[in-house]
Each structure stands twice: as structure tokens, then as C-alpha cells.
Amino acid sequence: MKAKSFNSEVSNKYKWSMVIDLDKCNGCGACTIACQAENNIAVVGEKLASEKRTMSWLRVERYFEGEWPELRVIFLPMPCQQCGNAPCEPVCPVFATYHNPDGLNAMVYNRCMGVRFCGNNCPYGVRKFNWFGYKWEASLQEQLNPDVSVREVGIMEKCTFCMQRIRRGKDTAKDEGRDVKDGEVVSACAQSCPTKAISFGNANDPESHVSKLVKSKRRFRLLEEHGTDPSVIYLKGGA
């Protein structure tokens, strides 16, 4: 694994990117629910949710512009931006989060001690912490995704670009002796978006639709002045 200093270029076949078209997002929230179902995210209940302790890895941010009746609402789905120069990574004292060769910011739940410096250093605020040990009732445990570990109390967690699906896709491709094809690996949020606002794929594959979207003229990234080099590209230009 090669990593050049102070830049995120990793010589690798895969660079998973997500493109979110804000002109198409209608704020339905299906992505949030899909993410919660796919990744065994705890449902915290009304009281904790009012204390801003929801565990959702992907949230849809809502911004209001103007005054009623000329009110406009802008929806911004905010997953983990999987930064190339992730500020959350170097500050973890135990290497519980690191950069993997696919350009993703990986979490090692077993290693996390719960110091929470990474949460402080994320400028987007996408990292979540397990404030309590959340339990599922016996029957609800049937719905847990067996590919994703259930986190215990005191651990940080965040969106992983559905790492389990990437893994499965790469395993299948390896068994068949080929690379992952475009559209074979899709994150839960991209899969469930009714307007296809979220696109997911390998930006290093010139045939994938994501790599074409990434070059769009409407593209921007969030908080680029921090030099975090996020892998999530937003598109906005329309009305």
C-alpha cells in the first residue's frame, strides 16, 4: 500500500465516490431509513432524539431560504465525506480509524476506546458516538444485517459507504477473476433514493457513471477550504 505524504492520491484501482445531486433531492428521507436498516443503526427513541443523540449515519440537512410565502427549502444529505486528508484519522490515539487503499475512511470498532477526538475534529459533524448500549428486543434482532457488526456502548461509528457491500462485490469479482463492474456495488442510500439523487461508484473506473458525474460543471464539495479532500461530490446549479 502506497501513500504519498500530504495528498490523498493512492495508486489503486478503486476510489469509491458518491455524487449527490441537490437539484434532484426532495428530502424524503428514504436514504436515512435505508442506511439505518442496512447498518444496524440503533433507534434511540423520542427523548434521546430530542436531545440530538440520534445515531443516523446519513442525515438530511434542511436549510430554509427566504420568508413565507417565498420560502425555499434546500435539502442536503450528509453522509461521511470519506475525506482524503481526513482530519479525524491522525488524532485517534489508538488507530481506530485509518485510510484504506480504496480511499475510504475505515472504522475499527474493536479498537475504539471512545476518546472522541475524531468526533471533535470532523468539520462536517458526521461522526456518532454510542452514548448508551442500545438493545434490540428479541424479535427485532431478526432484522439485523449479519454483515455489519452491532456496536457496543462507548464506540464511535459513522457511515462507511456500505463497506460490507463493497467487500461482497469485490469478493464476487475476485472469484470470477475480474474487476468490479459499474452498478454492481451500490450503497444502501443510493439504492433507495427515489429520484436517483445519490449515485455511488468507482471514480477511478472511466466507464462508471459516477466518474462522468464527478466531472460535471455543477460540482462542488463541502468545506473545501479545510483541505479535507472529501469523496462526496455535490451537484447544484438548477433552480
Q: Give the footprint of other proteins on this chain (CB under 8 A).
A: 1, 3, 5-8, 10, 48, 51-53, 61-63, 76, 78, 83-95, 97-100, 111-117, 119-125, 127-133, 152-156, 222-223, 226, 229
- CB of 104 vs other proteins, minimal distance in Å: 11
* DSSP-based three-state secondary structure for 150: coil
φ and ψ of 165, to 5 deg: -70, -40
72-84 burial, b if ≥16 CB within 10 A, otherwise e?
eeebbbbbbbbbb
Q: How many CB atoms lie within 10 A of CB 206?
A: 9
- Residue 46 is inside which H or E element, if any? helix 46-50
Smallest distance, Å, CB 32 to other proteins? 14
CA dist., res. 58 & res. 48, Å (int): 17
Residue (204 or 208) nearer to other proteins, CB:
204
CB of 12 to other proteins, least distance (A): 11
Ramachandran area for residue 3 (φ above 0: left; ψ -120 to 50: alpha; else beta): beta
| Closest CB to other proteins among residues 95, 207 | 95
State the minimum distance, in angstroms, from the CB of residue 228 to other proteins: 8
Q: Which is nearer to other proteins, 98 or 136 (CB)?
A: 98
Using the minimum distance from each CB to other proteins, give the nearer residue, 125 or 183: 125
